[in-house]
Amino acid sequence: NAGVTQTPKFQVLKTGQSMTLQCAQDMNHEYMSWYRQDPGMGLRLIHYSVGAGITDQGEVPNGYNVSRSTTEDFPLRLLSAAPSQTSVYFCASSAKQGVNTGELFFGEGSRLTVL
Amino acid sequence: DAKTTQPNSMESNEEEPVHLPCNHSTISGTDYIHWYRQLPSQGPEYVIHGLTSNVNNRMASLAIAEDRKSSTLILHRATLRDAAVYYCILRGSAGSARQLTFGSGTQLTVLP
């Protein structure tokens, strides 16, 4: 099983450029979410989705957009990249808590540098 | 929002047990207690979870206080590969962001 797949693994952008981080899962999970992790810090929730067509903001949503047109995919869009968005981004998915374990499965991360 | 509080760092000697505490005094009755760990340069991975009763799996044990306001992750024999950041989070049955919020975690250092 592929689990949660993130692309690209590394990306360098210039300030003002836009890009999309891709996230796909093959476990038919309802929940998907995006986190960012800055050096030496924990994970902060950017956006999350509880199912296709439903998204909501997390702790740090500014500067990011998401959509959930299918169960499998949850792309994260940076509209106009800023140096403050330099970070490692993790995508995660899970079944609803109470269905199996509700365990969160994480991707390997996408390291983004904005110059 | 239900939040968790963990010590910033802990140390353990190799092959000794480690007890990692987590306080969650505002936990609700439907919140599950989850533990994850993050090895260097990797995404977090699931360790264990529980609701009310103590739980054991091949990786660790989870001891939950009777009032559920705290829990302890127990690594029975720490190895160098257990050096990681350990996160305690609460997951409820409702689809809210609260259940997906990670704190700063505990950095576990294992000494040879």
**Residue A114 to chain B, least CA–CA distance (Å):** 19
Q: Strands A54-57 and A43-51: what pairing?
A: antiparallel
Mean pLDDT is lowest, of A9-18, B1-10, B38-47, for B1-10
Asked if A50 reaches chain B (Cβ–Cβ under 8 Å), the answer is yes
Q: State the amino acid at position B75 in one-letter form.
A: L
**How many angstroms separate the CA atoms of A82 and A21, rounded?**
15
Q: Do B102 and A45 touch (CB under 8 A)?
A: yes
| Exposed / middle / buried, residue B72 (Cβ in 10 Å: 0-12, 13-18, 19+) | middle
Contacts of A68 in chain B (CB under 8 A): none
pLDDT of res. A19: 96
pLDDT per residue over A9-63, tens digit each? 999 999 999 999 999 999 999 889 999 999 878 899 999 998 899 999 998 999 9
Question: What pLDDT, on a 0 to 100 scale, did the predictor assign at position A97?
Answer: 58
The size of the A-B interface in CB pairs under 8 A is: 65
Residue B89 has pLDDT above 70, yes or no: yes
> Can you give the pLDDT at residue B29?
84
| Summary mean pLDDT of chain B | 90
Cross-chain Cβ contact B87/A43 below 8 Å: yes
What percent of chain B has a predicted confidence (pLDDT) above 90? 71
Whether B97 and A45 lie within 8 Å, measured CB to CB = yes
